[in-house]
Chains A and B, each alone.
Chain A
Amino acid sequence: DTAVSQTPKYLVTQMGNDKSIKCEQNLGHDTMYWYKQDSKKFLKIMFSYNNKELIINETVPNRFSPKSPDKAHLNLHINSLELGDSAVYFCASSQQGSGYGYTFGSGTRLTVV
């Protein structure tokens, strides 16, 4: 059983399109995250939700909108895609409390052409 699953794995789309990436975790974790890994492999946090509530919202364009229908799901919708949005997007989850690391999904490689 995959602990954190993301779909799709690959996404190729044209500039200006709107797309969504879905993430689900079956670990019972309270907190979920979206990270962006750019072409240099740098990892930057985008959003974090705790029990469906947004708790972290880094400096991310308004075109990116996360949605958490329940604590097991955190989706990412991107409007008006731009070339610079091309990256690998990782979903992750963790338990509350000290000492818990993240469990990551396998990533979604987004290519905007």
Chain B
Amino acid sequence: AQRVTQPEKLLSVFKGAPVELKCNYSYSGSPELFWYVQYSRQRLQLLLRHISRESIKGFTADLNKGETSFHLKKPFAQEEDSAMYYCALRGAGAGKSTFGDGTTLTVKP
């Protein structure tokens, strides 16, 4: 079974402050982890993949297999970062992706 936990339903920070959105997972195999973002009234968009180890819009995420975590971080939050963020785990063999319950990030001016 695969499970994704995002412990914070709501997260609020001030503009310019660091932000970390937590994601923990449970999976017996080798996981593929993703972060998706959904801006207000828009479609979900892929933000980051653990396999690419890239920085998108200033966000980074590192897969920590020891802690089974894939936290999303940004050193200086911007107001346009306000959105719903989903962490997702995709099982081996191009199986289904299981999504966490999402974290709504609000960046205040």
A45 touches B49 (CB 8 A): no
B36 touches A101 (CB 8 A): yes
On whether A43 and B32 interact (CB within 8 A), knowing A98-B51, A99-B52, A104-B45, the answer reads: no
Interface size on A, residues (CB 8 A): 28
B43 touches A107 (CB 8 A): yes
**B102 to A, closest residue via Cβ:** A41
- Closest chain A CB from B51 CB (angstroms): 4
On whether A45 and B98 interact (CB within 8 A), knowing A98-B32, A99-B49, the answer reads: yes
Which of B49, B88, B96: most chain A Cβ within 10 A?
A: B96
Q: Which residues of A contact B45 (CB under 8 A)?
A: 104
In the complex, whether B17 has a CB less than 8 A from a CB of chain A is no
A101 touches B34 (CB 8 A): yes
Q: Which residues of A contact B88 (CB under 8 A)?
A: 101-102
Interface size on B, residues (CB 8 A): 24
A42 touches B102 (CB 8 A): yes
List B residues 57-109 near A (Cβ within 8 Å): 84, 86, 88, 90, 94-99, 101-102, 104
In the complex, whether B11 has a CB less than 8 A from a CB of chain A is no
Indicate with 1 or 0, residue by residue over A86-103, a CB within 8 angstroms of chain B CB atoms.
000010101011111111
Q: Which residues of B contact A97 (CB under 8 A)?
A: 94
In the complex, whether A56 has a CB less than 8 A from a CB of chain B is yes
A41 touches B84 (CB 8 A): yes
- Closest chain B CB from A1 CB (angstroms): 15
A43 touches B99 (CB 8 A): yes
In the complex, whether B42 has a CB less than 8 A from a CB of chain A is yes
B96 touches A96 (CB 8 A): no
- Closest chain B CB from A58 CB (angstroms): 8
On whether A106 and B46 interact (CB within 8 A), knowing A31-B94, A45-B97, A94-B94, the answer reads: no
Indicate with 1 or 0, residue by residue over A39-76, a CB within 8 angstroms of chain B CB atoms.
01111110010100000101000000000000000000
Chain A residues proximal to chain B, CB less than 8 Å: 31, 33, 35, 40-45, 48, 50, 56, 58, 90, 92, 94, 96-107
